[in-house]
Structure 1
Amino acid sequence: MTQTFRLAQAVDAPALAELLRQAYVSNTELGIHFAAAHADAQAAEKHISNNVCYFLEEGGRLLGTISLRMPWGPNPGPAGLPHIGWLAVSPTAGKKGIGSRLLDFIEQDIARDQLKCPALTLGTAVEHPWLPQFYEIRGYEKFAEADLGLGHITAYFKKTIIKSFK
């Protein structure tokens, strides 16, 4: 079956909240409490309306989601650039590279090709056992850390998408 990306709509809020709850269970079990792990349908609807939020689907089945928080939005990232957030893969999707596919889509199709954005940022818990290394392997470089009061230290990463404008 073909995998397709689409923009999430307000009606998708309950599905987004459920996907986040399922996908972030393992993080919560590690003692890492990302805000997305506790999003209810109301928070998910607010997120969809305030950000660029995409779903990856296959045969009507939700495989994952990824969002961009814009610098001019109500919850900008730390560097005046679009900031990746609420990246989640359904635990029922299996280990099929869905997270990498979501990142490729947002980095290339959206940030580079549509927004002509020179770089992106994202944040993750310093204490997470594999996410910081995963992002570094993908070309993200750590540029800051902050204590956001969530019980962990957030590491901020930046990736250059467009080396130079023509």
Structure 2
Amino acid sequence: MSHIYRLARLEDAEELLGLTLRAYEPIRKLNIKFPAATADLELVKQNIIQHTCYVLEVDQSIVSTITIRRFEEITDLPCVWWFAVDTEFKGKGYGKRILQYVEEDILRDRLNAKAVALGTSDRHPWLIEMYERNGYVRFYERDYGEEGKGVFLKKELVHELSQNL
């Protein structure tokens, strides 16, 4: 079984749209207004062009995706968003793998980021706790009225070398 991490390409857009809509179906049912939950092909293409979108391929099929972008109005840290695992592959560790790849290999080791941030909804029943179990801590909340609160979390990305000094 081959695993390949790579940047998304425009020709991946249709496959990414299908994966995203399947993965975000529970978000739609909760009536949480994440852009990815109601994405269309044009929005997927914009995400690929405007941000840094990674995919994890297993045996030439995209099983997971995550994007790095900035939210300057919230933080100067790089942020991960549009994180999705295809429903056919949930529970196999692919989400954890791509998140760890982006946190460690890309952000920490290549871009020398000291930390990473992300945002989610306080209305989601388990996402905040999942991120907290993976080392993220809350640092900011924004009230969106009827849509609930946006909860922003960050994770320190400490270089192993600096830990040993």
Same fold (TM over 0.5): yes
The equivalent residue for 2:96 is 100
Taking the TM superposition and a 5 Å limit, the aligned residue runs for 1:83-94 are 83-94=79-90
1:12 pairs with 2:12: yes
1:148 to partner: Cα distance:
4.4
Change in 2 beyond 3 A, CA 1:124/1:93 = same
Deviations 1:20-40 (A, max 9, x none): 111000111122231111111
Contact 1:34-1:150 within 8 A present in 2 as well: no
Structure 1 residues not aligned, in runs of 5+: none
Identity of aligned residues (%): 37
Deviations 1:17-63 (A, max 9, x none): 21111100011112223111111111111111111100101111111
Q: How many residues of Structure 1 are paired with residues of Structure 2 in the alignment?
A: 162
C-alpha distance in 2 between matches for 1:68 and 1:83: 6
User: Which of the two has greater helix per residue?
Assistant: 2
2:88 maps to amino acid: T
The correspondence for 2:77, drawn from 77, 81, 85, is 81
The equivalent residue for 1:48 is 48
Change in 2 beyond 3 A, CA 1:149/1:5 = farther
1:146 to partner: Cα distance:
1.1
SS in 2 for 1:111: helix
**TM-score normalised by L of structure 1:** 0.90
1:83 maps to amino acid: C
SS in 1 for 2:140: strand
1:117 pairs with 2:100: no
2:97 maps to amino acid: R
Task: Report the RMSD for the aligned CA atoms in angstroms.
Answer: 1.9
1:32 pairs with 2:28: no
2:148 maps to amino acid: H
Contact 1:107-1:161 within 8 A present in 2 as well: yes
SS in 2 for 1:69: strand
1:139 to partner: Cα distance:
0.8
C-alpha distance in 2 between matches for 1:103 and 1:134: 12
**TM-score normalised by L of structure 2:** 0.90
Structure 2 residues not aligned, in runs of 5+: none
Change in 2 beyond 3 A, CA 1:150/1:76 = farther
